[in-house]
């Protein structure tokens, strides 16, 4: 596990299963319908049970770059924050801004629910095809830049499914921290 302190908060990078996290909230890499899907989305809906889907149906979907919150159902997490990242289309269609917005809106939703700990997957890097090197930089920089706005959030954990994804995030974190020390 890699950690970095940002003000009063800690950012952690771990390999694991986001559905098993003991944080107050976990973030779902959701689709716009919020009706479940594959990858992280399907795993969260399966592990959390039908209550999450029932709550999602009442939310009326979610635009790309936005996030909405439901309970955690049967998960350890009290909340699931459903964030919709962009489908990668070459990087020339506002994808970076939309991805950053999905992370920013997730933190805003967490703060609105008085969450002190949150776990993120790598949004948009699975079926949506976002290159993980670029996506990890956007994710980490956005969270690190936004954390001072949310002093109640003390822990942000990035939960990466594969060892390779974890290594990419670790490399990006090291680059960002090194650039801040110059």
**Residues classed as catalytic:** 41
d(CA 124, CA 85): 5
**Contact between residue 104 and residue 116 where contact means Cβ atoms under 8 Å apart:** no
d(CA 123, CA 33): 16
Length of the chain: 182
CA distances from 41 to 19, 29, 180 (A): 10, 6, 34
**Contact between residue 140 and residue 176 where contact means Cβ atoms under 8 Å apart:** yes
Residues 6+ apart with CB under 8 A from 90: none
First to last CA, the chain: 25
DSSP 8-class letter at 87: P
**Contact between residue 98 and residue 44 where contact means Cβ atoms under 8 Å apart:** no
């Amino acid at each position: 596990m890699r950690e970095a302190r940002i003000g009063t908060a800690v950012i952690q990078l771990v390999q694991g299963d986001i559905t098993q996290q003991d944080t107050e909230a976990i973030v779902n890499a959701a689709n716009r319908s919020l009706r479940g899907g594959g990858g992280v989305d399907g795993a969260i809906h399966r592990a959390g049970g039908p209550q999450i889907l029932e709550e999602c149906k009442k939310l009326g979907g979610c635009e790309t770059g936005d996030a909405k919150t439901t309970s955690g159902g049967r998960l350890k997490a009290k909340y699931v924050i459903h964030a919709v990242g962009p489908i990668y289309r070459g990087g020339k269609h506002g994808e970076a801004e939309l991805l950053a917005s999905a992370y920013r809106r997730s933190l805003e939703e967490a703060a609105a629910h008085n969450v002190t700990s949150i776990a993120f997957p790598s949004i948009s890097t699975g079926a949506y095809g976002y290159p993980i090197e670029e996506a990890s930089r956007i994710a980490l920089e956005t969270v690190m830049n936004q954390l001072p706005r949310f002093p109640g959030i003390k822990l942000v954990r990035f939960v990466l499914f594969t060892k390779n994804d974890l290594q990419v995030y670790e490399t990006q974190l090291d680059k960002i921290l090194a650039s801040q020390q110059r």
